[in-house]
Structures are given as structure tokens and as C-alpha cells.
Chains A and B, each alone.
Chain A
Amino acid sequence: MIDTIPWILLPLGGFIALTAAIGVLRFPDFYSRLHPAGTGDTLAQLLVLLGLLPLVTAWEDGAKLVMVTVLLFVTTPTATHAISQAAHLEGLRPWTRKEESDG
């Protein structure tokens, strides 16, 4: 039973990461592209690391995987916030549906 968990979680994590890449390509502007990139940062890495947990034998390795998850959950939103604030300060205006119908 425990052997099947990685086989479910790892491909699922890969699928989410692929979705993040496709989302970055498909979405219209800088701000909206942050959102699918965020799915890659959060759910994809969570699924991959959870999927790896049953595979490790030493407890230190498991603890390291958990630490990587915690670190990424703290740092990625900070980085996302930093670049979006930089864009906002530069005066980049977000793409909206109204502008599309105007032009």
C-alpha cells in the first residue's frame, strides 16, 4: 500500500508543474502569470516531496525533505511579492477584461 503512494503523488506533482509552465505561457500579462507560477511553487513541490517521503529510509532524509517544504513555503511568496511590488512601483498596469473589449 505504502509503495503505491509515490506512484500517485509524483506523477501528479509533475502534472501540476507542467500546468504551471503552460499557464505561464497562456496567461496574458505579468501579474496573471504569477498565479500559475505559484501553483508550481506550492502544490507541485508539496506533492513531489510528499511522494518522496515513503521512499526514504533514514529519518534525517525525511526531516530534510520536510524542511525543504517549509523553506519553500516561506520563501516563494516573499519572492513573488518582491517582484510583483517591483512591477507595481514601476507603474505596470494589469491586463483586465475591460481593456480588451475597449481595444
Chain B
Amino acid sequence: MRAFALFLALFTFWVCLSGQTDSTFLMGIGLACCGFTAWLCTRLEIVGDEGQPTRGLLSFLVYIPWLVWQVVLANIDVVRRVWSPTSTSIDPRLFELETELRHPVARTLYANSITLTPGTVTVRCEEGHFIVHALTEGAERALLGGDMEQRIRQMEEASR
């Protein structure tokens, strides 16, 4: 099942890159290559929950637009601070962020989401907490509020 999902993803990727949908020969070669790759990955035993977290996919698709919106909001804030005529508008700090996320994919997604929103950067990932650098107190408070973690935890639970 996971191997088939991998095969579908590979083939979609291949079709998008080549765009040669009218050539039967090229499509056949693509199908064969993607099938072979999926088979190899199964043999290497790298097809699994960590490589293909397929079960949380639906909630992930809901999460993406929310994340993009957060990125846009955070960007506007950083852009304002860059252009502010006084240099007093930033107040950087390092702080510890507790997290209850255990699943490696969920932890990666959380750390990457934090880094993706300007104003906060994940500096270290340790067991049970991240060390985060925030540009302003507001950015720190937004993370400590836990809204983002809540959304990812729902995804983690949905994928169980």
C-alpha cells in the first residue's frame, strides 16, 4: 500500500517533469522506472511510516493553507521592522519551547514550521523541547500560545 503510494507520487512527479504524455514509449519507460524504484525502496526497507506518512495526509492538506497564511502574517511583521526608521523595534531572545510531539515526522514538521515563519527560528531540537530564537516578544508569545503545536498534534493523532 505504501509502496503503491510511493509509486504514484514518483510517477506524478515524472509526468510533471517530462510532460511527454503523447509518447507511449516514454510513458512506458517512466512507468517501468517508477515501478522499479518503488520495488527497490521496498527491498531496502525504507518504505514505512517515517518515509511515507500517508495517513495524516488529509489533515496535512488542511494545515498547509493555515501555515501559508501564518507565514504571510509573520512576514508582514518582519518587513515592517526592517523598514522601521529606529533600530529599537526588535528585541531578540532565545527561549525553550516545550513540546509533547513524539512522532519524528510531526516533530520535523513543527520545527520546520517554526523556522518557516519569519520571526522565529528553531535553533536546536532536543527530546521534549526545542530551543527557539525569536525576534520579538510577540513572536515568542505566539509560539508559547501553542496554537501551531495543537494543530500538528491533531494531525499526529489522526495518523495513528
Taking Cβ atoms with an 8 Å cutoff, the residues of A that contact B are 16, 19-20, 22-23, 26-29, 31-32, 34-36, 38-39, 42-43, 46, 58-60, 63-64, 67, 73-74, 76-78, 80-81, 84-85, 87-88, 94-97
In the complex, the answer to whether A38 meets B116 with C-beta atoms within 8 Å is yes
A-B contact pairs, 20 of them (CB 8 A): A23-B81, A26-B87, A27-B90, A31-B92, A31-B121, A34-B121, A35-B135, A36-B82, A38-B118, A39-B118, A42-B116, A43-B75, A78-B112, A78-B115, A80-B115, A81-B121, A85-B124, A87-B123, A88-B124, A94-B93
Given contacts A23-B78, A26-B87, A38-B121, contact A73 B92 (CB under 8 A): no
In the complex, the answer to whether A16 meets B115 with C-beta atoms within 8 Å is no
In whole angstroms, what is the CA distance A20 to B112 when docked? 19
In the complex, the answer to whether A88 meets B123 with C-beta atoms within 8 Å is yes
In the complex, the answer to whether A94 meets B16 with C-beta atoms within 8 Å is no
CB nearest to A37 among chain B residues: B118
CB distance from A30 to the nearest CB of B (A): 10
CB nearest to A77 among chain B residues: B115
Q: B107-136 vs A: 1/0 string, CB under 8 Å? A: 000011111111111111100000101010
Given contacts A31-B92, A85-B123, contact A42 B82 (CB under 8 A): no
Q: Top 6 closest A-B pairs, CB basis? A: A60-B19, A77-B115, A23-B82, A63-B16, A43-B75, A38-B118
In the complex, the answer to whether A31 meets B133 with C-beta atoms within 8 Å is yes
In the complex, the answer to whether A19 meets B92 with C-beta atoms within 8 Å is no
In the complex, the answer to whether B133 meets A34 with C-beta atoms within 8 Å is yes
Contacting residues, chain B, for A20 (C-beta < 8 A) = 82
In whole angstroms, what is the CA distance A23 to B82 when docked? 5
Chain B 84-109 interface residues, beta-carbon cutoff 8 Å to A: 87, 90-94
In the complex, the answer to whether A81 meets B112 with C-beta atoms within 8 Å is yes
